[in-house]
């Protein structure tokens, strides 16, 4: 494993141990070297000193060739066990005296060499001149054994190794403790950062273990985390906003799409409808361009004009279907429209003569509408063969004229008959009166009774005739229409009828003011309210009147809580002379509702009844608001 | 050129012959005096003379011989080119003690033994180291006496006499010598 890849703990340990090892090694080596050098120097100096002393002591011995003395001086070297050999050379360089005495002569250099001390492989040896004053008397040779030195250095080495080993051990133990204080926060940081990167949890915080650089680093890291968290929050908020926006937009788009689809579908449908209309229209549908050229020609057109679509598409419409004498006028119309965007013949129904393929002419109903497609004007023409309609119209006109005449005659007849019938009836009434006045006492009780019956029937007859007169007189006459406040009308009607005390008439909401013939609307309400009172069978009668608006009509109702009408009679009650009770039971002509219906019908309204037996009856009628 | 070479050769031969004659003459001297000449010279290293004995730094160091010179050429050989603390060595021969003016070491031949007391007395109070082979030299007031013991040349010192002559003698020298009290 590369050093760089090692965990920081090991790095630190190795680093510390390596450094302390190197430091120790360098220190020990330096000391060792220094010691070695120093030792050699000291040894040299010591030997040199010894040499100087011995040589100084030996001067006299040499000067006076005293062997014993020289021997004695050399023997003093015994106190230096390192010195294994020594000797004096005399002035001429001959061996003069040696130490130890029993050593062979070959143990010493034959001749003295240059003064000074030298290290050989295992010895330190040197020559010291023997001087008395400036006089050289001989030379001293000294040989020192370095075994002791090396022994000492061996000891030194062992101690050094021991020291290094102990120091390294101590360094190791110390570094274990020390590195903890450094690596612990780093490991904590690393652990935290691992959690952050693994779990993407930016809310965790590294624990600060001190106020050193690692502490600042931890602070900075935590701060950074806080910032990231903050930014994440902002980002996620932004994201959420964005998502919301996207969702919104998507929804909008979807709805727009749906609308578009719907629109497309509708368009397609409407296109299909148009196609269907185009194909199956009862009229000829013809589309022409600005120049009057035929663009489309539907099957009905084929039938009406006898030209197939193939034959006419691309041809001038006017040439094909307009008789020569109108052709120019029509062309001018189209040109006029394009120029001025309007024309007298456009957008309205026209009736004119058209020409078929077989050159027969016919009455055609034409409606031409301009339309823009891709920036160009087109004209859609609807053409129908109105020959039949024209004929029918003529017939209807004739028939209605005949009907009006006969109606008038009938009215006149009814009036005249009624009028003429009234004269003899009046005579019968007068005669009955005379009979009672003149012969009342002679008639007896039965006679009187019968006479009274006669008078009653005369009255009834008179009423019937009056009713017929009224009914026949009912003709729509717009000239009599005026502003009528129905609230006033109802008030008058109530006064006119004089309702009995047990019946309450309630106007449930303020009634409108309308344009109507006042006499006739009075007739309507008088009849409806009068009927309700007349047939009321409950001890406490309630009649409710109200109005509402429905489409463009006023809708009125007159409701009672009377006996009700069987559904079978809902139509019958509006017919003239129809009464549901015997005439003797209730005095009725059976004309009132017929008149009401006639008034409502002739004024564009409708009247109908809703009822439940024993519960009551409600009459509804409508009148157009204008 | 050959003429010059002949001349050089002639002188070389003369020089060689004279040298041989010298060598022959030397061999006639007793060998112990060769050693004694060296000793005589070596004493200068172990003894210090008062500076008053040297009027200047260039003043010679004078070794005198009273009576017959027993050293032959050895003394000359030993001393030639040497000096004592910068003082050139000069050898002087005296026949009578009266002749001595300035002297540092005086070797008195034993031939003068009969007159020894007189000589020593004469030199008393002067800074002169006196040496001799004479047997009762120290008893007569002499300072150092050479003697031969079992073939080795040794010396005896009369420390009192040396000290009274105001000479500083090295202990190293004293270690080798036999210090004798003449009284």
Give tens-digit pLDDT for A464-480: 888 777 777 776 666 67
CA-nearest residue of chain B to A58? B172
Q: What residues in A contact B82, CB-CB < 8 Å? A: 135
Residue B5: is its pLDDT beyond 70? no
Q: State whether A69 and B173 contact (CB < 8 Å).
A: no
Q: Which two tokens mark A135?
A: 């006089």
**Is the Cα torsion angle A523, A526, A531, A534 positive or negative in sign?**
negative
CA distance B149 to chain A (A): 12
Q: What residues in A contact B172, CB-CB < 8 Å? A: 57, 59-60
Query: What percent of chain A clears pLDDT 90, i.e. is strictly above it?
Result: 11
Closest CB from A61, A69, A132 relative to B45: A132
User: What is the average pLDDT across A340-365?
Assistant: 77
Q: CB neighbours of A390 closer than 8 A, spacing ≥ 6?
A: A363
Residue A39: name the closest of A116, A115, A119 by CA: A119
Interface test with B, best of A54, A62, A63 (most B CBs within 10 A): A63
Between A98 and A351, name the one with better pLDDT.
Answer: A98
Burial zone of A2 (CB within 10 Å; 0-12 exposed, 13-18 middle, 19+ buried) = exposed
Binned at pLDDT 50, 70 and 90, residue B27 comes out as: very low
Adjacency order of strands within the sheet including A376-385 = A294-297, A284-289, A376-385, A361-373, A349-355
Residue A591: name the closest of A493, A498, A494, A471 by CA: A471
Binned at pLDDT 50, 70 and 90, residue A621 comes out as: very high
Indicate if ipTM > 0.90: no
Integer Cα distance of A521 and A491 in angstroms: 13
DSSP, residue by residue, A302-353: HHHHS--HHHHTTSBHHHHHS-HHHHHHHHHHHHHHHHHS--TTBTSEEEEE
Q: State whether A134 and B170 contact (CB < 8 Å).
A: no
Closest CB from A57, A63, A69 relative to B42: A63
Q: Give tens-digit pLDDT for A272-303.
A: 888 888 888 888 888 888 888 898 898 888 88
Q: State whether B45 and A64 contact (CB < 8 Å).
A: no
The answer, as to whether pTM is greater than 0.80, is no
Residue A543: name the closest of A567, A508, A497 by CA: A508
Interface test with B, best of A64, A76, A97 (most B CBs within 10 A): A64
Integer Cα distance of A362 and A389 in angstroms: 12
Closest CB from B82, B85, B173 relative to A60: B173
B88 DSSP β-pair partners? B83
Residue B160: is its pLDDT beyond 80? yes
Closest CB from A61, A134, A137 relative to B176: A61
| pLDDT, position B16 | 47
Residue B103: is its pLDDT beyond 70? yes
Residue B15: is its pLDDT beyond 50? no
Binned at pLDDT 50, 70 and 90, residue B21 comes out as: very low
Helices marked H in B124-170: 159-164
Closest CB from B46, B85, B176 relative to A66: B176
| pLDDT, position B18 | 45
Query: What percent of chain B clears pLDDT 90, i.e. is strictly above it?
Result: 21
Q: Give the CA count within 13 Å in the CB-facing half-sphere of A427.
A: 5
Integer Cα distance of A311 and A294 in angstroms: 10
Closest CB from B46, B155, B176 relative to A132: B46
A-B CB pairs within 8 A amount to: 37
Looking at A141-145, A586-590, B10-14, B92-96, which range is the least confident one?
B10-14
Q: State whether B85 and A134 contact (CB < 8 Å).
A: yes
Find tokens 């790095």 and name the residue. A11
Interface test with A, best of B36, B42, B155, B173 (most A CBs within 10 A): B42
Q: State whether A65 and B173 contact (CB < 8 Å).
A: no
Integer Cα distance of A284 and B96 in angstroms: 196
| pLDDT, position A439 | 83
Reading phi first (left if > 0) and then psi (alpha if -120 to 50, else beta), residue A185 is in alpha
| pLDDT, position B8 | 54
Q: What residues in B contact A72, CB-CB < 8 Å? A: none
**Is the Cα torsion angle A246, A247, A252, A255 positive or negative in sign?**
positive
Q: Give tens-digit pLDDT for A353-395.
A: 888 888 888 888 888 788 887 788 888 888 888 888 888 888 9
Q: Which residues of B touch A (CB under 8 A)?
A: 35, 38-39, 42, 45-46, 82, 85, 153, 155, 170, 172-173, 175-176
User: What is the average pLDDT across B53-60?
Assistant: 89
Integer Cα distance of A613 and A567 in angstroms: 9
CA-nearest residue of chain B to A66? B176
CA-nearest residue of chain A to B45? A132
Find tokens 């040497």 and name the residue. B82
Closest CB from B35, B45, B175 relative to A69: B175
Q: What residues in B contact A134, CB-CB < 8 Å? A: 85
Residue B176: name the closest of A54, A73, A53 by CA: A73
Q: Give tens-digit pLDDT for A424-459.
A: 888 888 888 888 888 878 878 888 888 888 888 888
| pLDDT, position B9 | 57
A506 DSSP β-pair partners? A544
Q: Give tens-digit pLDDT for A241-271.
A: 888 888 888 888 888 888 888 888 888 888 8
CA-nearest residue of chain A to B170? A60
Cis peptide leading into residue A197 (ω within 30°):
no
| pLDDT, position A254 | 85
Q: CB neighbours of A458 closer than 8 A, spacing ≥ 6?
A: A425, A428, A429, A432
Helix (H) / strand (E) element for A385: namely strand A376-385
Q: State whether A132 and B42 contact (CB < 8 Å).
A: yes
Closest CB from B35, B155, B172 relative to A59: B172
| pLDDT, position B22 | 44
Distinct helix (H) and strand (E) counts, chain A: 12, 17
| pLDDT, position B49 | 92
CA distance B87 to chain A (A): 12
Residue A21: is its pLDDT beyond 90? no
Closest CB from A64, A133, A137 relative to B176: A64
| pLDDT, position B62 | 92
Q: What residues in B contact A65, CB-CB < 8 Å? A: 35, 38, 153
CA-nearest residue of chain B to A91? B38
CA-nearest residue of chain A to B39? A64
User: What is the average pLDDT across B81-97?
Assistant: 88
Residue A417: is its pLDDT beyond 90? no
User: What is the average pLDDT across B115-142?
Assistant: 89
Quick check: A548 and A518 in contact, CB under 8 A?
A: no
Quick check: A560 and A543 in contact, CB under 8 A?
A: yes
DSSP, residue by residue, B10-74: HHHHHHHHHHHHHHHHHHTS-THHHHHHHHHHHHHHHEE--GGG-SSTTPPEEEEEESS--STTH
CA-nearest residue of chain B to A133? B45
CA distance A118 to chain B (A): 29
Q: Which two tokens mark A16?
A: 């510390």
Integer Cα distance of A353 and A361 in angstroms: 6
The pair phi, psi for residue A376, each rounded to 5°, is -115, 150
Integer Cα distance of A584 and A589 in angstroms: 11
CA angle A18, A19, A23 (to 5 degrees): 120
Q: Give tens-digit pLDDT for A148-206.
A: 777 878 888 898 888 888 888 888 888 888 777 777 878 888 888 888 888 888 888 88
Q: What residues in A contact B89, CB-CB < 8 Å? A: none
Interface test with A, best of B176, B177, B178, B179 (most A CBs within 10 A): B176
Interface test with B, best of A54, A55, A58, A60 (most B CBs within 10 A): A60
Q: What residues in B contact A96, CB-CB < 8 Å? A: none
| pLDDT, position A256 | 84
Closest CB from B39, B82, B85 relative to A64: B39
Beta strands B144-149; B129-132: pairing state: parallel
What is the rounded average pLDDT for all residues in chain A? 84
CA-nearest residue of chain A to B171? A60
């Amino acid at each position: 494993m590369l050093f760089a890849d090692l965990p920081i703990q090991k790095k630190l340990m190795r680093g510390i141990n390596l450094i302390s090892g190197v430091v120790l090694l360098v220190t020990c080596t330096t000391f060792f070297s220094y010691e070695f050098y120093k030792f050699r120097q000291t040894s040299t100096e010591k030997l040199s000193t010894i040499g100087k002393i011995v040589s100084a002591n030996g001067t006299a011995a040499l000067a006076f060739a005293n062997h014993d003395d020289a021997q004695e001086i050399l023997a003093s070297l015994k106190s230096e066990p390192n010195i294994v050999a020594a000797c004096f050379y005399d002035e001429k360089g001959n061996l003069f005296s040696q130490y130890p005495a029993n050593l062979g002569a070959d143990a010493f250099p034959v001749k003295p060499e240059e003064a000074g001390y030298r290290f050989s492989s295992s010895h330190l040896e040197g020559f010291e001149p023997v001087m008395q004053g400036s006089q050289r008397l001989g030379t001293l040779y000294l040989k020192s054994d370095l075994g002791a030195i090396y022994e000492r250095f061996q000891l030194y080495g062992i101690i050094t190794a021991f020291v290094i080993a102990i120091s390294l051990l101590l360094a190791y133990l110390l570094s274990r403790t020390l590195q903890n204080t450094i690596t612990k926060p780093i490991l904590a940081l690393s652990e935290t950062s691992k959690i952050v990167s693994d779990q993407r949890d930016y809310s965790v915080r590294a624990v600060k273990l001190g106020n050193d650089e690692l502490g600042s680093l931890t602070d900075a890291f935590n701060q950074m985390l806080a910032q990231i968290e903050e930014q994440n929050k902002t980002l996620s908020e932004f994201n959420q906003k964005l998502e919301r926006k996207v969702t919104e937009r998507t929804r909008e788009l979807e709805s727009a799409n749906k609308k578009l689809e719907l629109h497309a579908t509708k368009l397609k449908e409407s296109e299909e409808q148009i196609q269907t209309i185009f194909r199956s229209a009862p009229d000829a549908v013809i589309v022409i361009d600005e120049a009057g050229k035929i663009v489309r020609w539907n099957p009905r057109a084929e039938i009406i004009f006898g030209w197939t679509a193939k034959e006419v598409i691309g041809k001038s419409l006017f040439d094909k279907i307009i008789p020569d004498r109108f052709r120019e006028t029509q062309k001018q119309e189209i040109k006029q429209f394009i120029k001025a965007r309007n024309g007298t013949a456009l957008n309205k129904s026209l009736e004119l003569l058209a020409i078929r393929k077989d050159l027969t002419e016919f009455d055609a109903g034409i409606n031409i509408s301009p339309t823009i497609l891709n920036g160009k004007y087109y004209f859609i023409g609807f053409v129908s063969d109105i020959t039949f309609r024209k004929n029918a119209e003529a017939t209807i006109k004739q028939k209605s004229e005949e009907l009006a005449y006969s109606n008038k005659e009938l009215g006149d007849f009814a009036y005249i008959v009624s009028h003429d019938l009234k004269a003899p009836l009046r005579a019968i009434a007068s005669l009955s009166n005379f009979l009672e006045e003149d012969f009342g006492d002679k008639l007896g009780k039965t006679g009187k009774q019968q006479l009274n019956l006669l008078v009653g029937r005369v009255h009834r007859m008179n009423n019937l005739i009056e009713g017929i007169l009224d009914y026949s007189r009912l003709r729509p006459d717009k000239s009599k229409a005026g502003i009528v406040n129905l609230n006033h009308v109802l008030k008058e009607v109530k006064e006119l009828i004089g309702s009995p005390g047990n019946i309450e008439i309630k106007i449930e909401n303020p009634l409108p003011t309308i344009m109507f013939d006042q006499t006739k609307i009075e007739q309507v309400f008088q009849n409806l309210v009068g009927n309700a009172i007349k047939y009321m069978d409950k001890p406490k009668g309630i009649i409710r009147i109200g109005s509402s608006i429905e489409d463009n009509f006023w809708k009125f109702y007159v409701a009672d809580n009377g006996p009700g009408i069987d559904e079978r009679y809902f139509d019958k009650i509006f017919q003239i002379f129809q009464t549901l009770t015997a005439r003797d039971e209730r005095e009725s002509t059976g004309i009132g509702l017929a008149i009401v219906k006639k008034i409502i019908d002739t004024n564009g309204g409708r009247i109908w009844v809703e009822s439940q037996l024993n519960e009551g009856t409600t009459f509804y009628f409508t009148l157009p608001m204008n | 050129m050959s003429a010059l070479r002949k001349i050089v050769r002639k002188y070389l031969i003369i020089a060689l012959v004279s040298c041989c004659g010298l060598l022959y003459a030397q061999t006639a001297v007793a060998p112990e005096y060769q050693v004694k000449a060296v000793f005589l010279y070596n004493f200068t290293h172990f003894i210090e003379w008062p500076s008053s004995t040297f009027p200047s730094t260039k003043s010679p160091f004078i070794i005198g011989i009273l009576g017959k010179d027993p050293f032959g050429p050895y003394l000359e050989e030993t001393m030639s080119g040497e000096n004592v603390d910068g003082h050139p060595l000069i050898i002087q021969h005296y026949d009578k003690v009266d002749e001595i003016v300035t002297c540092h070491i005086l070797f008195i031949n034993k031939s003068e033994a009969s007159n020894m007391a007189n000589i020593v007395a004469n030199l008393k109070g002067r800074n002169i180291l006196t040496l001799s082979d004479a047997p009762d030299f120290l008893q007569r007031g002499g300072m150092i006496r050479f003697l031969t013991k079992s073939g080795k040349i040794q010396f005896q010192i009369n420390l009192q006499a040396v000290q009274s002559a105001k000479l500083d003698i090295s202990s190293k020298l004293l270690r080798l010598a036999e210090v004798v009290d003449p009284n």
